[in-house]
Amino acid sequence: MQYNDVNILRHIAFNIRKDIIVSLAEAGSGHLGGSLGLADVFTVLYFNTMKHNPKLPNWLERDKLILSIGHVAPVLYCTLANAGYFEVEELLSLRKLGSRLQGHPGRDHGLPGIELSAGSLGQGLSVAVGMALAAKMDKVNCRIYSVHGDGELQEGSIWEAAMSAAHYKLDNITAVVDRNYLQIDGKTSDVMELEPLIDKWKAFGWNVISCNGNNIKELVSAFDKAKDYKGKPSVIIAKTLMGKGVKSIENDYRWHGKAPSKDQSKDFIKELEVCNE
Amino acid sequence: MSKIIENKGNKSTKSGFGEGLLIAGFNKNVVAIGADITASVGVNMFAERYPERFISLGIAEQNCVAVAAGLALCGKIPVFSTYGVFAALRAADQIRISVCYNNVHVIIGGAHAGISVGPDGATHQALEDIALMRTLPNMTVLSPCDATQTALAINAAVNSCNGPVYIRFGREAVPDFTNENQVFEIGKGQLLKEGNDVSIIATGHLVWEALQAAYLLENKGIGVRVINIHTIKPIDYEIIIKAAKETGAIVTAEEHQIIGGFGSAVAEVVVQNYPIPMEFVGMNDCFGESGKPEELMLKYGMTAHAIQEKVLMVLKRKQSDD
C-alpha cells in the first residue's frame, strides 16, 4: 500500500518507532539510535517510493532494498512488519535463539523481505551495483536502494563501489547516506572527517541530493528526484538525528549501540507520543 | 584407473580454466568479472567472445566479490578470477559475508596458486588460500590437478553447484596428464594408481609429482597408492578412509602451507575415522621468494623426491607401530 498523504506517513513512522523501542527493550540489546533516526527514510521508502508487494516478496520486478548497515536491522524489521511482510508480534523475537529476526539480517533464517545478509560494513553498495548491473543486462524495470551510515563511508570498499556505479552509469541505484554525524566512538568529525561529503560523491560521478532525513515531505521529493535522474547513480545525503523522536536521547552517540531497559522503554514511548502531537 | 592418465605434454592449469570458462559461457547466465589482469587469469577469451557478459571493475577485489554477490542474487552465475592471494585474502570478508553467508552461486578463480608462480616472489604466491576458503560455511573448494581437469572443474562449478565455489589453479605449464573423458564429480576423489603399502593423497600440481614418486618407490618394491583429491571441500571421506584402512600410512602433498591446508583436511578425516601415521608435503610455515619454479619447488621440498622422502619416513613409523 503506497501513500502520498504526509500525515498518514508520519503516523506510520510513529508506529515503526514505537515498535523499534518495544522490540529492542524485549531483546535487551541492539542499536536504538540509528534505527530511530532512519524511521522516516524507511517509512517513505516502503510506504511511498518503492515498488514492492509484501504478498510477493520474490516478485522479479520489485524494487530492492539493501541494508548495508545491518546493525540497524530493527528499523528494517519494524518497517517490513508494518508493511505486512509478517506479523508485528514476531518483532518480539528479535535477537533471540531460533528467531528469523537475527541481530544483523540473515537471509538463511527465512524472513520475507530480506534481500541481503549483511552486517560487515562497506559491502552493501557493491551488492547494489551487482543487482543494478543484472537489472540493466536483463532489462528488468526496477530500482535498487541501498542504505548506508555516514561512519560506514570510512570503509574504502564503499568508494570502490561508488566508482564502479558511476562507470556503468547505474541510474537505477539510489543510495541513502544516514548523515547523523555520529558513530560509536563519538562525532564522525573526530573519529575520521568525512567532509566535504557532497563534493566527494560528486567527484566520484554521482548525482547528489541533500535533504532533511527526518522530514517526510523532503524525503518524498528527494526520492522522486533520484528516480527521475538519468545517466548517473543518485545518492541522498539524508541528515537525521540519531535517536529521533525520543527527545532525551536525540543526538547522543551513547545510544548508537544500546537498547533501552523495559522501564526506560515506557518513558521513551511517552516521549515519542509527546513528539508526535 | 590407467584410463584417467594420458600425458599430453605441458600446459598451465590457467589455460584450462580459460578454455573451460569459454565452454561454460554457453550458459547465458554466466558473467565474468575482471580486475584488470584478465589475460593472466584466463578470463580474456571469455571477455572477447561475450563482451556483453564481461564486467570490468578495475583493481578493486573487494568490490568485485560483493558485486558478484549482487549479480548472483539476481540469477546470474558470476565468475570472478584474479590472483589467489588477492581473491582469497584481500576480499576474504566479502567472500565470507556477501558470498558465503548469503550462500549465492558465485565462482571465484584463484590464479597463481602455489610457489610455482616463480620470479614474482612471495607477494604473488598464493599459499594460504585453501586454508582460508575451506573454513567458510557453504563454500566448495576445487583444486584440479592439470589443465584438462581445470576445464572440467569450472564447468562443474557452473552447472553442478548452487552455492559459492573457489577454484584454484596455477600459472606454470605442468604436465597435462588426465583424460578429457574422465568422470569429474565434485566431492569424489580419483584413484590414479593402486598400491597397498602406503598412500599418497595429493591435490593440484603435486598430483603429477606424487605419481612420479610412486613410480620411483615401485622400483624399490614399495606398492604406493596414489589418489587425486580435486575437491578439497566437501572432501571424499570414503576414498580417504579406505586408503587409511588398506595401506596403513598416508602422505599428503599440496603446493600450499601445511598448516590448515589440504593435508589438514585429510588428517581431519583420518584421525576421526581410522588413525594411522601421516606425513605432510607442503610449505612449512614460511613465505616463498623469487626464483625459477623448478628451483623453488626443489628448495621448498615439493618435488617427487621430497614426496618419496616423506613416504619412507611414514613407512618407518608404520613399521614401528606394527
The pTM score is: 0.97
State the SS3 of B105-138. CCEEEEECECHHHCCCCHHHCECCHHHHHHCCCC
Q: Give the residue ranges of chain A where pLDDT is below 50.
A: none
pLDDT for B1 equals: 47
Whole-number pLDDT of residue B62 = 98
From chain B, pick out residues whose CB is under 8 angstroms from the CB of A129.
63, 67, 70
Query: Could you report the per-residue pLDDT of A165-192, keeping only the tens digit for each?
Result: 999 999 999 999 999 999 999 999 999 9
* Domains of chain B with CATH codes: 10-175 (3.40.50.970), 190-321 (3.40.50.920)
Asked if B67 lies within 8 A of A127 by C-beta distance, the reply is: yes
Alpha-carbon span A59 to B87, nearest angstrom: 33
> What integer is the mean pLDDT of B233-252?
98
At the second CATH level, the architecture of A6-276 is 3-Layer(aba) Sandwich (3.40)
Using a CB-CB distance cutoff of 8 angstroms, which residues of chain B are in contact with residue A118? 97-98
Cβ within 8 Å, pair A130-B102: no
pLDDT in tens, B56-72: 999 999 999 999 999 99
Interatomic CA distance for residues B201 and B192, integer angstroms: 10
Chain B contacts of A117, Cβ < 8 Å? 97, 101-102
Using CB atoms, which residue from A119, A134, A164 is nearest to B76?
A: A134
Alpha carbon separation from B233 to A176, A213, A217, B136, B229 (Å, rounded):
39, 47, 53, 10, 10
- Are A113 and A66 a contacting pair, CB within 8 Å? no
Confidence at residue B6, expressed as pLDDT on a 0 to 100 scale:
86
Most B CBs within 10 Å: which of A133, A136, A141, A142, as the mutation test of the B interface? A133
Where in chain A are the domains? 6-276
Q: What is the mean pLDDT of residues B190-219?
A: 98
Closest approach of B113 to chain A, Cα-based (Å):
25
A103 interfacial to chain B (CB closer than 8 Å): no
Question: Sign of torsion, CA A207 A210 A216 A217?
Answer: negative
Please give the grid coordinates belonging to residue B120. Answer: 614474482
On whether any CB of chain B is under 8 Å from the CB of A170, the answer is no
Q: Amino acid identity of B189? A: G
Q: Quick check: B322 pLDDT over 80? A: no
A134 vs B68: CB contact, 8 Å cut-off?
no
B97: nearest CB among A123, A137, A140? A123
Is the minimum CB–CB distance between B20 and chain A shorter than 8 Å? no
Q: Could you report the predicted ipTM of this complex, rounded to two decimals? A: 0.97
